[in-house]
Chains A and B, each alone.
Chain A
Amino acid sequence: MTPLELLTWARGPGLSIALAICAFGILLRLFEIFSLGRKADLSKAREHSPGSGWRTILSRSLPPPGLMKRAPVTYIGGYVFHLGFAITLFFFVPHIELVRGLTGLSWPGLPTQVIDISAVAGLLALIAVLASRLSNPVKRLLSGFQDYLAWLLTFLPLATGYLAFHHLLIDYTLALALHILSVELLLVALPFTKLFHTVSVFVSRWYNGDIFGRKGVAS
């Protein structure tokens, strides 16, 4: 199989299979989670706190006071990675073209220099948080196989995309094929690992905010 044939497979059947597994998995998990439900709270709400859930979505996206001192790598690394990853994912023109090809939606992209910086920032942040996870005994104790898997599956698309864009180490066509394949791996794993937080994060934040609001700790 030549690199071009691999790329053609990745853009064709590979992408269809990955997206299908991803869609299947997300729907399965969402139905499962929502159908579990929660016990009805029969007690009277301690405080009337309309919108507490929505406010929590915002407040928990902002850094809590003191985190910078307690966990600077988590603090900075977390933000830099998520922002770098999101900018690279949503504002690189070929990525927007992919979304346009799938949904018909499109928006303006950013110059490649900006994407380049955000991708490098994302990569460095990922490396920093991994180093911190490995060197900090508490984090290491709390980490399992799935955490390292999630890290790898996130790291690979950024790394292969960077190699492809800059024509480093491997032939561009092969690098592009590997990049798309790595994204497909990420899509396949997304519903079944901690990576599912990309779908569930705001739902769980809303629920936490709302239930704590009822218990008198409104945000």
Chain B
Amino acid sequence: MAHDAPTIAETLRRQGISRRGFLKFCATTASLMALPPSMVPAIAAALEKARRPSVIWLSFQECTGCTESLTRSHTPSIEGLILEQISLDYHHTLQAASGEAAEAAREAAMRENHGKYLLVVDGSIPLGNAGYSTIAGISNLDMLKETAAGAAAVIAVGSCAAYGGLPAALPNPTGAVPVSAIIKDKPVMNVPGCPPIPVVITGVLAHFLTFAALPELDDRGRPKVFYGESIHDRCYRRPFYDQGKFAETFDDEGARKGWCLFKLGCKGPVTYNACATTKWNQGVSFPIQSGHGCIGCSEPGFWDMGPLYKPLSMPIAPVQMMVGAAAAGGAIAGTAMAMRNRAAKKAAQAAHQKVTVDDLEKAK
């Protein structure tokens, strides 16, 4: 990290952000991350002093949706500016350099900031065949291992990097795995979502700059502050679920009245994310508000979680054939049992010996 680089506060001032605006951002970040208000000055002080951390962004088996989400989902905002304050030394989509020059930039950043840079990864890593996904002739696996070796921490952005995502969906032809399956000796934070919410990334970065550590993570490596509650529990349509009012189709009266989308396959009850609270596009809306159920995109293996438009309580696959066959089998087995019972009954009747009073008298 170059010591003559301007601090974040200096850069923000140069870009016309007032002190008031900066403090507002610090307060918002503190509240977003469920930190007490007393932490706001600490965040402000840390961000003011912090110099631009070097960030290397590696993209593996992904669709660039995560980058699109971060860079295009809002007009330049204070979060966007903060994002610009990091020194993004390597990013396929955003960097101007290409070919050997790009790789040289990555190597230089790794050398100069060894042990201090943040490694952000989007996309999953194929283990099946190194040739499935390469960058400058280097396999994704080798590049991840090499770059992670000198990183302070690794942030797996998006469901592909966090859990394998779409490339890992059955039958997983490339043998795709998440970052956490490979990197075991560094702190790895998962920021799942397809794509994840931009403010989650900026909040996490602010936390890293302030405390020089990743925020508290849950058992799946996700920052608890953003992934602690289910969409269903924080959904503004939840009261309709409790009242038993549901949209049956996407254009019926219930849908127009904004009733619960559970029957249309909403996966909100089993999805942990901040969509219902932070929302998207600077708090404008989120999928459920737009009339479509949650598809559970921030959960591991969501592609294989069953049909998107079937309610959670419905069976995933058709069972009628199997149950019908089992019932027929039961009927056949029952008939066989009946025949056996009847045969036993007949045999018992045939074996029955009649005893008369005379016989009994004789027996005396």
Contact = CB atoms under 8 A, between A and B. Distances in A.
A95 B301 CA distance: 25
Nearest to B328: A27
Contact of B306 (A8, A16, A27): A8
B311 A4 contact: no
B326 A35 contact: no
Interface string A112-141: 110000000000000000000000000000
A95 B330 CA distance: 26
B335 interface: yes
Given A16-B315, A95-B313, A98-B314, 5 more contacts: A12-B317, A24-B329, A24-B330, A29-B334, A94-B312
Contact of A35 (B269, B312, B338): B338
Contacts of A31: 330-331, 333-335, 337-338
Nearest to B345: A36
A94 B323 contact: no
Contact of A30 (B230, B300, B317, B334): B334
Interface stretch (B18-26, B241-249, B250-258, B287-295): B241-249
A78 interface: no
Contact of A28 (B306, B322, B330): B330
Interface string B97-133: 0000000000000000000000000000000000000
B118 to A, nearest CB: 27
B242 to A, nearest CB: 5
The 10 residue pairs across chains A and B that have the minimum distance between CB atoms? A31-B334, A27-B330, A35-B338, A101-B314, A20-B326, A94-B313, A24-B330, A12-B316, A23-B327, A24-B326
B319 A4 contact: no
A172 interface: yes
Contact of A173 (B270, B317, B319, B322): B270
B363 interface: no
A36 B317 CA distance: 37
A24 B326 CA distance: 5
Contact of A97 (B263, B270, B305): B263
21 contacts: A2-B220, A8-B301, A8-B305, A8-B316, A11-B315, A16-B315, A16-B323, A20-B319, A23-B330, A24-B327, A28-B330, A28-B331, A31-B330, A31-B337, A32-B341, A35-B342, A36-B341, A97-B313, A102-B315, A112-B242, A172-B230
A144 interface: no
Contacts, number: 138
A101 B315 contact: yes
A62 to B, nearest CB: 30
A157 to B, nearest CB: 13
B320 interface: yes
A167 interface: yes
A150 interface: no
A168 interface: no
Q: Classify the secondary structure of A's interface with B.
A: helix
Interface residues of A, number: 43
B331 A5 contact: no
B311 A167 contact: no
Contacts of A12: 306, 315-317
Contacts of A112: 241-244
Contacts of B84: none
Interface string B233-247: 100000001111010
A105 B11 CA distance: 64
Interface in A1-51: 2, 4-5, 7-8, 11-13, 15-16, 19-21, 23-32, 35-36
A164 B233 CA distance: 12
Nearest to B320: A102
B315 A176 contact: no
A172 B327 CA distance: 33
A93 B304 CA distance: 24
Interface string A165-184: 00100001100100000000
Contacts of A5: 300-301
Contacts of A100: 314
Nearest to A37: B342
B79 interface: no
Contacts of A176: 269-270, 312
B241 A98 contact: no
B294 to A, nearest CB: 13
Contacts of B302: 4
Instruction: Kindly name the residue among A26, A32, A95, A108 whose own CB sees the greatest number of chain B CB atoms within 10 A.
Output: A32
A111 interface: yes
B299 interface: yes
Interface string A61-99: 000000000000000000000000000000001110110
A32 B337 contact: yes
A110 interface: yes
Given A8-B306, A172-B270, A167 B233 contact: yes
B325 A7 contact: no
B330 A97 contact: no
B171 to A, nearest CB: 15
A12 B315 CA distance: 6
Nearest to A11: B316
B280 interface: no
B263 A35 contact: no
B224 interface: no
